[in-house]
Amino acid sequence: MTVLRTLHLWPRTLFARLMVILLVGLALAQGLAFSLVLHERSDAADRLMLGNLETDVASSVAMLDMLPATKRELWADRLSRRTYRYELDAGIRSDTPPRDALSREAVATIDRALEGRYNVTANAVPGGGNQYQVHLTLTDGSPLTIDVHPNPMGLSTWLPVLLGVQLVLLGGCAWLAVRLVTRPLKQLATAAESLGPDLKSEAIPEHGPVEVAHAAAAFNAMQQRIAGYLAERVQILAAISHDLQTPITRMRLRLDLMDPSETQERLVQDLRAMEHLVCEGVTYARTLHGSAEAPARVDIDALLDSLSYDYRDGGTPIMVEGKVGTPVETRPQALRRILTNLIDNAIKFGGDAEVAVSRESGNLAIVVMDRGPGIPEAELERVMQPFYRLETSRNRGTGGTGLGLAIAQQLAQAMGGRLALANRQGGGLQATLTLPA
């Protein structure tokens, strides 16, 4: 569960992940360096303190021992330092030895500096933290106490500021480095996403570091090769579909010269089906090349009203719900062809069609619905493929070439939109066309 929670919090973009890794690494490295500097500074201060203590205590105790008792109090105050002072009494005695290693080492330093001339004892001061006292007796029998109260090493106010400035500078450098690294990847992803059915997106600039320039050149070459292969296949399909129209026309003329019969009627129906298939093949080939139609501002409400009147005149009224209210910049002929294909399918397999239009979050959504048999969930994506037909519900007996949805999908992609199919609750199918508005 902890792993899943961690993965959920992990950034999803490469830029954010690299920034997190670099910033955390730099912060840890700077923190470690800062800690090492403080530790070294503390050790140096301790060594300096012990060295000063060894020299100062030896001379101070010798001076106090030589002075008359009446003058010792005055000199005791003068000889006191910031972290220790001299008291002319027995001090506070206890059975607790100095608490930390530095205090014990300081006691040993004092004992060593006095060269065994005095009996030195030490104990911690109860309730005094790291405070401790060193006791000895002067040659005249007077007690002397060295009261040591270590102060923690002070931290200069400019050190945290300097650390913050360093982290800010390192963070800025990391941001610049990560941006330089991830920008080519973003350009490559943008170029890949902008590839439409016509494969006519702009080439990626082939400059920058060697690896980036090589990747950009490889992508541009791949785009050109794919465009060439697709153009060749589309040209073959269009040529075959176009050339088939001539023999089909000759066959129609010869059939028209034959005497009317049941066989002649069936042959005419077959030729009409072939003609329709050829026309659909040419249309599909053109959609693969991308629409050359220039975008224009279109009143979607008027376009849908025009379509509904056309179908009403044909004897099949359709219901239109919703209003857009404002014109939308799109390709009117391509949009009309998509809607015609979707409505024809709805009428063919459901008997009627319902159209709902809405505009939300900068997108235009047009939904065409029917109450037909629907499509199995596993086949919703496959029916978008060219020449694919369902044998169970949408078979050859109902007509169709298997290109209507493929053409609609290609045109939607060429317009920067998306076509999605879904089954309706209660039966039927709905086709949702989403276009940028």
215-224 confidence digits (pLDDT tens): 788 888 887 8
Q: Which of 41-45, 48-52, 232-236 has the highest mean pLDDT?
A: 232-236
pLDDT of residue 239: 77
Specify whether domain 12-148 bears CATH 3.30.450.
yes
pLDDT of residue 386: 72
Q: Is the pLDDT of residue 393 over 50?
A: no
Rounded CA-CA distance 132/85 in Å is 11
pLDDT of residue 187: 75
Burial class (CB in 10 A: 0-12, 13-18, 19+), 398: exposed
Within 10 angstroms of residue 235's Cβ, the number of other Cβ atoms is 13
Rounded CA-CA distance 354/342 in Å is 11
Q: Is the pLDDT of residue 301 over 80?
A: yes
pTM as predicted: 0.47
Furthest CA-CA distance within the chain: 154
Is 241 in contact with 281 (CB distance < 8 Å)?
Answer: yes
Q: Is the pLDDT of residue 2 over 60?
A: no
Ranges of each domain in the chain: 12-148, 194-290, 293-436
Per residue in 303-323, pLDDT tens? 888 888 888 888 888 888 888
Give the CB-side neighbour count of residue 270, counting CA atoms within 13 A.
Answer: 8
Q: Is the pLDDT of residue 291 over 60?
A: no
Q: Which of 81-85, 93-97, 109-113, 298-302 has the highest mean pLDDT?
A: 298-302
The domain 194-290: what is its CATH number?
1.10.287.130
Categorize the per-residue pLDDT at 95 as very low, low, confident or very high, splitting at 50, 70 and 90.
confident
Give the mean pLDDT of 23-42: 79
Q: Assign 3-class secondary structure to the chain.
A: CHHHHHHHHCCCCHHHHHHHHHHHHHHHHHHHHHHHHHHHHHHHHHHHHHHHHHHHHHHHHHHHHHCCHHHHHHHHHHHCCCCEEEECCCCCCCCCCCCCHHHHHHHHHHHHHCCCCCCCEEEECCCCCCCEEEEEECCCCCEEEEEECCCCCCCCCHHHHHHHHHHHHHHHHHHHHHHHHHHHHHHHHHHHHCCCCCCCCCCCCCCCCHHHHHHHHHHHHHHHHHHHHHHHHHHHHHHHHHHHHHHHHHHHHHHHHCCCCHHHHHHHHHHHHHHHHHHHHHHHHHHHCCCCCCCEEECHHHHHHHHHHHHHHCCCCCEEECCCCCCEEECHHHHHHHHHHHHHHHHHHHCCCEEEEEEECCEEEEEEECCCCCCCHHHCCHHHCCCCCCCCCCCHHHCCCCCHHHHHHHHHHHCCCEEEEEECCCCCEEEEEEEEC
Categorize the per-residue pLDDT at 205 as very low, low, confident or very high, splitting at 50, 70 and 90.
confident
pLDDT of residue 48: 67
Amino acid identity of residue 92, one-letter, is I
Q: Is the pLDDT of residue 340 over 80?
A: yes
Is 422 in contact with 301 (CB distance < 8 Å)?
Answer: no
Q: Is the pLDDT of residue 66 over 60?
A: yes
pLDDT of residue 155: 61
Q: Which of 49-58, 183-192, 350-359 has the highest mean pLDDT?
A: 350-359
Q: Do domains 12-148 and 293-436 have the same CATH topology?
A: no
For 293-436, CATH number out of 3.30.565.10, 1.10.1660.10, 3.90.1150.10, 3.40.50.2300 equals 3.30.565.10
Q: Is the pLDDT of residue 6 over 60?
A: no
